[in-house]
Copies of this chain bind each other. A is one copy, B any other.
Amino acid sequence: MLDDLKRDVWQANLDLVTHGLVTLTWGNASGLSEDREKVVIKPSGVPYDSLQPEHLVVVDLAGNVIEGSLRPSSDMPTHVLLYRHFDGIGGITHTHSCHATMFAQARLEIHPWGTTHADHFFGAVPVTRPLTQHEVEEAYEENTGRVIVERFRDLDPISRPAVLVAGHGPFTWGRSAADAVKNAVALEAVAEMAFGTQCLRSNPPPLEPYVLEKHYQRKHGPNAQYGQF
């Protein structure tokens, strides 16, 4: 079942590698079924070059495996929790991509210094608080999802489809697994540019709010002018 979704999610996992976002097996992508009840996700620790669509694992929104003989990614509970809380998302990625992880480790949000950022993220990419010892010991992966959701209490996850988990690395999401991968690629590029901008100048001038608005809306707003229809 879900053969099309499995193929899409398989492709999304391979695309993370092609875009240079993954070292060894440090990355995974998932997708949500159209009825929003099942999640297709990468199995844990399987090398990308032997990964096939039929290796993907299907879980329900409580995190129970309902199809597949392999164990799901250890980050599965985080993915499932995000699908439960973020309406309208259909795909998620988690990577340790180099520059985004630098910001996650420095626990600094990625400011929108330029229009590349504004084309994809409508404001700074936020950082979560660290988990408490209790949260780690009780249900580490699920609570990782909870601190992300907590961080977005007053933020819109649709227009800001990425987060940095403090001391860990980025998660991105989107309408589909492919869209989440696109946001992971954009996040890494934006992080690298922000890194260099901050090296060149300790207090870079913030992007004018009306330029942020213009760029985000011209790509994503109701009157988007970008791409073909």
Contact = CB atoms under 8 A, between A and B. Distances in A.
A214 B136 contact: yes
A167 B107 contact: no
A98 B189 contact: yes
A44 B228 contact: yes
B226 A169 contact: no
29 contacts: A24-B189, A26-B116, A26-B119, A44-B228, A46-B228, A70-B228, A71-B225, A74-B225, A96-B115, A96-B193, A98-B192, A98-B196, A105-B193, A106-B200, A107-B205, A114-B167, A114-B168, A114-B169, A115-B167, A130-B208, A130-B211, A133-B208, A136-B211, A136-B214, A137-B214, A167-B207, A195-B196, A195-B200, A199-B199
Interface of A: 23-24, 26, 43-46, 70-71, 74, 96, 98-99, 101-108, 113-116, 119, 130-131, 133, 136-137, 140, 167-169, 182, 185-186, 189, 192-201, 204-205, 207-208, 210-211, 214, 218, 225-229
